[in-house]
Structure 1
Amino acid sequence: MKRVLMAIENLGLGGMKRAATVVGNAMTAFADVQYYQLADVPSYYELQGRLVPAKHPVMPENGAGPLTRYAVQMADLGDVLITEKIDVLIVNAGILTSFIPYLKTRAPHVQMIAWMHNNIDTYFNQYYREMQPEFVAGVKAADAVVALTESDLAGFQTVTDRAIKIWNPVTMPIVGHADVTSHKIAFTGRIAIQHKGIDIMLAVAQYLPDDWQIVIAGDGTPTDVAEFKRLIHANHAENKVVYRGALHDEALAEHYRQASIFLATSRWEGLPLVLVEAMSFGLPIVSTDNTGAVEILEGGVYGELATKDATAIWHRLEPLLHSTEMRRVLASKSLARAKDFATGPIMAKWQQLIE
């Protein structure tokens, strides 16, 4: 049985962390899995493998010179690979990917997989713009690069010939179905104004009829939450939104079951897990046309896609508000598509990759 180390910047709340822990936990069926984080924070998610403590923990930030700024942490990870006799290292996202050339010198026997959770344009032109040379070197040195969509696979294939695509699986238990007669629209995501398009979502909210509301599950930094509350007032949406904060497990499932539509307004995404979650409960989807949503909805076959503009989204959303039958049709499409993200076939691809 291969000894696998799942390495991540931190194990707090977030889609990347959720995907990494769900896949890592499922991997315990065929591998000896351990977890490692650069930070020292309690894991928000259940871990079915040992968490190896970091010797010099840090909460890393994107920026120039990661190999200098995190030289101690990079050396610590090299030590862990050797002392724990690791066979396969899976690094999540870019800072840890930049460590790969160094780690190869320390542990050349270890298979090193770089798992890319966001789209390549966001990585190159936003998150890792200031550390692009180190990021590219890490991608080129990796034994495999896992992308989430066809567009990102094509992008990473211009950098390395070892890129493959593996979708993330649905990451929560599915019990029950959405109530398509409800006048509630579900929104799930971090309160990250630009990334999740919170400003777009609240601009849409002001158009809603008085008997409809957007119910929001998610949390954010104090700065973003303050801006979120300001935007609610600016859009005169106080009676159109209900903010529930971060929800987990059964509370999140109930959030989906009580709604009749799921709205997603992100400006960019890798493969948004919340879309698959919502579809698994039979929620019709209205989403912006980020690359992840386009992949999941197959260009609009399985849900409504609109440009990243409140007016465009409203044109897609409004007809659904007035037709329960339209919602039922899209609900059936969501349930059909969600089956493609079942854990079994996706984990079979991971097993093939590491074995």
Structure 2
Amino acid sequence: MSFNTVFVVTEMRLGGRERVVSNIAGALNEHTEVAIFSVWKRLPFFISKAPLYFDKNSFVQTKSHSVSQKLENKKWMKPIISIVKQLVPYTTLQRKRLDDLVDFLQQNNVKNVVLTDLTSTFAYQIRKCLPDINIISWIHMQPDAFFDIQYKGYKKELKRGLSSVNSLVALTPNQETEYKKYVSKTLFIPNPMPAVSKHLADMSKKTILIIARIDIQHKGLDYLKDLVNYVPNEWKIKVVGSGSPEDEKIFGDIVDSSDNKIIWESAVDGDKLEKVYQEASIFIMPSRFEGFPLTLGEAMSYGLPIIAFDLDGTRIILKDENNDYGILIPQGSVQKFGEEIIRLVSDESLRKKLSSKSMNRVATFSEKEITKEWLKLLR
């Protein structure tokens, strides 16, 4: 067996990054031989049209909707994990799996390896073992969040890894500029958005929707404690997602204190997820940072009007040189966010106007066009 390209992920868990890897790898697999390699040997939440491997002998076909439980999720382990991250390189912690990956790349005559986010640390060792392979780093968030928040413990090791890659894919022009400080050949390829759905959202439902991993800080779910005060009594905020036990407990307390204004359901996929989008009238994204949020594109494909904090990753979707395609709120301004919720729930004509803009916008980021950009890079 041989593959032209292998995408490497920590695991195919529930998440926007994992969904877009599944989609892009699957789309590319229609043009060239592509596989996905998972560092963690856990059943995937997503099944791609590209095959998933744990090693050269483990082709994974079974899907799981259970959310992975990690040591980092246990509160008493956090200080220990923090110290380990400072003292022990990720590549040392994952030495056996890194060896398995290198073996997989060698055995399958792989020409291109795409390292997503934290697995970019593997580039240094891969380069030593396979000097001729084309190594691409694909980073799904802005540099400050990537180095100083999400992977703070591995910042030095990540930068060493980036020094060994041939090129880096960033999700916005601003991120492209910033990452060029680390990899001179950095290029901007946005994530794809789904085509406009044949079954649009029911704009009569009094539901404000959030689809997100239950990650309190990253997804800004703690802001809901104040945002519910702006939601009229007949409306509800519906949150669909799963997360670590610790974050789910914190969010459960937020839901319990919301006077029944927040409805929380576990993560779903496929037809169930489609129904969730269809039964909403507004989509909101209160995240503190995002690279290029896939759920925003999904919501827009169902014709949902959008309110989101103004981040680099949301701005590129909701604004261009000539038009606004949703409502952007200054980062952290909960009052302004709440006022826009009031304005949107009170004005059906504005919701319909933004609904049309959402559907017009998604065509700009079609999977077909984004796949062409990836094919250019890989060839």
Structure 1 pair 90/171, CA: closer, same or farther in 2 (3 Å)? farther
TM-score relative to the length of structure 2: 0.88
Q: 2:114 aligns with which of 80, 90, 97?
A: 90
Do structure 1's residue 247 and structure 2's residue 268 form an aligned pair? yes
Q: What's the C-alpha RMSD, in Å, of the aligned pairs? A: 2.2
Q: 1:274 aligns with which of 271, 284, 295?
A: 295
CA distance in 2, matches of 1:122, 1:253: 30
Q: 1:124 aligns with which of 122, 138, 147?
A: 147
Give the aligned partner of residue 67 of structure 1: 91
CA distance in 2, matches of 1:288, 1:70: 36
TM-fit CA distance, 1:11: 1.1
Indicate the SS of the match to 2:109. coil
Give the aligned partner of residue 45 of structure 2: 44
CA distance in 1, matches of 2:294, 2:165: 25
CA distance in 2, matches of 1:15, 1:217: 13
Offset from partner CA, 1:191-241 (integer Å, 9 cap, x none): 11111111112421132111111111111122211111212233xx23212
Contact 1:200/1:309, CA 8 A, preserved across alignment: no
Q: 1:188 aligns with which of 194, 211, 228?
A: 211
TM-fit CA distance, 1:37: 0.7
Contact 2:142/2:290, CA 8 A, preserved across alignment: yes
Structure 1 pair 175/222, CA: closer, same or farther in 2 (3 Å)? farther
TM-score relative to the length of structure 1: 0.93
Do structure 1's residue 291 and structure 2's residue 312 form an aligned pair? yes
Q: Residues 96-111 of structure 1: matches in 2 within 5 Å?
A: 96-111=119-134
Identity %: 26
Any stretches of 5+ residues in structure 2 without a counterpart? 59-67, 73-81
Give the aligned partner of residue 328 of structure 2: 305
Offset from partner CA, 1:262-302 (integer Å, 9 cap, x none): 01110111111110000111110001122211111127811
Any stretches of 5+ residues in structure 1 without a counterpart? none
Give the aligned partner of residue 321 of structure 1: 345
Structure 1 pair 173/27, CA: closer, same or farther in 2 (3 Å)? farther
CA distance in 2, matches of 1:113, 1:294: 25
Contact 2:291/2:312, CA 8 A, preserved across alignment: yes
Indicate the SS of the match to 2:163. helix
CA distance in 2, matches of 1:326, 1:262: 14
CA distance in 1, matches of 2:54, 2:10: 12
Structure 1 pair 10/56, CA: closer, same or farther in 2 (3 Å)? farther
Indicate the SS of the match to 2:177. helix
CA distance in 1, matches of 2:176, 2:18: 21
Letter in structure 2 aligned against 1:291: D
Which moved further from structure 2: 287-296 or 263-272?
287-296
Indicate the SS of the match to 1:349. helix
Indicate the SS of the match to 1:99. helix
Contact 2:195/2:366, CA 8 A, preserved across alignment: no
Q: 1:209 aligns with which of 200, 213, 232?
A: 232
Indicate the SS of the match to 2:35. strand
Do structure 1's residue 76 and structure 2's residue 96 form an aligned pair? no
TM-fit CA distance, 1:105: 1.6
Contact 2:3/2:108, CA 8 A, preserved across alignment: no
Give the aligned partner of residue 179 of structure 1: 202
Letter in structure 2 aligned against 1:24: A
Structure 1 pair 338/81, CA: closer, same or farther in 2 (3 Å)? same
Indicate the SS of the match to 2:338. helix
Indicate the SS of the match to 2:140. coil
Contact 1:40/1:54, CA 8 A, preserved across alignment: no
Give the aligned partner of residue 171 of structure 2: 148
Indicate the SS of the match to 1:293. helix
Give the aligned partner of residue 62 of structure 2: none
